[in-house]
């Protein structure tokens, strides 16, 4: 599932930003995920940005496997910049997913909801 790549890459990029945050992000909910999916699906530019981020996520994963931290940092920064184009709702959702167990009921519901975005990229 490409979602794992995008979430992992975003979390790598968000760590320095999150370390500076004053208050912890609110936990993500499936309703938040549904709102983000609807918002991105309705906007062709945002949908393309999301798909481009998926490709970056795969490149980050490959660089990480090769232990190329410079490339990981470079691509993560690019992904972080791109995520801002998806809007504050997307950023808040990703922040809220930090620390969320992907195997928990809530994590699985959110993951299933976000899979709709991956289907946009398969077209």
In a domain, 22, yes or no: no
Taking the CA atoms of residue 72, residue 99, residue 25 and residue 106 in that order, the dihedral angle to the nearest 10 degrees is: 120
Please give the tally of structural domains in the chain.
1
Full pLDDT tens readout for the chain, 123 residues: 455 555 555 554 444 444 444 455 678 999 999 999 999 999 999 999 999 999 999 999 999 999 999 999 999 999 999 999 999 999 999 999 988 888 899 989 999 999 999 898 876
**Which of 79, 96, 85 is closest to 32 using CA atoms?**
96
In a domain, 21, yes or no: no
In a domain, 51, yes or no: yes
pTM of the model: 0.78
In a domain, 17, yes or no: no
In a domain, 16, yes or no: no
In a domain, 20, yes or no: no
In a domain, 71, yes or no: yes
Residue for token digits 């993951």? 111
Quote the CA–CA distance of 61 and 5 in Å, as a whole number.
Answer: 7
* Parent domain of 65: 2-11+27-121
């Amino acid at each position: 599932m490409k979602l794992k790549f995008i979430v992992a890459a975003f979390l790598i990029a968000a760590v320095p930003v999150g370390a500076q945050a004053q208050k912890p992000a609110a936990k993500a909910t499936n309703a938040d995920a549904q709102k983000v999916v609807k918002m991105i699906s309705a906007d062709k530019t945002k949908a393309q940005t999301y798909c481009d981020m998926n490709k970056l996520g795969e490149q980050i994963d490959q660089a990480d496997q090769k232990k190329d931290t410079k490339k990981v940092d470079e691509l993560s920064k690019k992904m972080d910049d791109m995520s801002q184009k998806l809007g504050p709702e997307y950023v808040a959702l990703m922040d809220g997913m930090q620390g969320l167990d992907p195997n928990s009921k809530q994590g699985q519901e959110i993951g299933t909801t976000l899979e709709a975005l991956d289907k946009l990229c398969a077209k």
